[in-house]
Amino acid sequence: MSDLFNNSSDFEDIVFPPKITLTCRGKLVLLDSPLIMGILNVTPDSFFEKSRVIKNMDALLSKANQMIEEGANILDVGGYSSRPGADEVSIQEELDRVVPAIESIRSHFPETLISVDTFRSEVAKLAVKSGADIVNDISAGGLDSNMISTVGQLSVPYIAMHMKGNPKTMQSKTTYENILLEIVSYFSGKIQECYKAGIKDVIIDAGFGFSKTLDQNYWILKNLSYFKTIQAPMLVGISRKSMIYKKLHLTAEESLNGSTALNMYALIQGANILRVHDVKETKQTITLYKQLYP
């Protein structure tokens, strides 16, 4: 055994791999089974119309309740659309959208995990104060220099996504020498920055559709297991995105089947969290995946 393992911990890590966990407000969340993050957009212009819940609080709570009953582990509340060409939103308007939504969800569904989808540290701070458990940042601190230090002070898990530029410029920044290597290098640096700031749980998101061409998106998905070398939980968000409906010559509304197919592949490649519009179908996908990969 001494020829194979330098010490007993090496042996234990292979025979009994360490469990992936998140700590959310003192609660230990196991990622030994894939989690579902349901998308709740309190915006008027998100690319998939049915994900918008801006009419009133009753509509929001009804959608949240439906997602929870269908199997959502996390509800992701966003008040700033990041689709290409989306209108800019002031910090106050974003706060006015997300804070009441988070407070209401927390009040009605106290056991459900809530993430706030924002790249602004001020919004992250007040969202966590209002009841959010996780900060989901499309820019990994790139659009707000205070974000990573703020999340470190908040002591919540942080989802760091890969993107170049911002939502208005990202699709003009798709040139890479080696896209897989560059993304791994990006995350390696970000994770070290997060750890230094006091963030204990970092989740990585390759950023499908953000500063990537259609072919680049599929190359990343095909090689998703490559990112397991980073040894961080992986979130995959491909639900109804243009990489699906443009490839199939459909609309976002017609892209459920394609989303389900690619989500299954993402699970096989090691995804820990699926960020989706369609919770029921994703739950069924995970059930079948676990039958194949118990």
CB 74 within 8 A of CB 111: no
Residues in the chain: 294
Confirm if 56 and 140 have CB atoms less than 8 A apart.
Answer: no
Would you please indicate which residues are annotated as catalytic (active-site) residues?
241, 275
Residue type, 156: V
**Could you give the C-alpha distances from 247 to 180, 242, 260, 265, in angstroms and in order?**
22, 8, 15, 17
Cα–Cα distance measured from residue 253 to residue 120, given in angstroms and rounded to the nearest whole number = 29
Bridge-based pairing state of the strands 234-236 and 273-276: parallel
What does the alpha-carbon distance between residue 35 and residue 29 come to, in Å, rounded to a whole number? 10
Neighbouring residues of 241: CB distance < 8 A, sequence distance ≥ 6: 47, 208, 209, 217, 252, 255
**DSSP codes of every residue in 123-174:** HHHHHHHHT--EEEETTTTTT-TTHHHHHHHHT--EEEE--SS-TTTGGG--
**Torsion, Cα of 208, 210, 214, 215 (10° steps):** -70
Closest CA to 237 of 214, 204, 215, 192: 204
Q: Which residue has the tokens 């530029």?
A: 165
3-class SS of residue 7 = coil
DSSP for residue 186: H
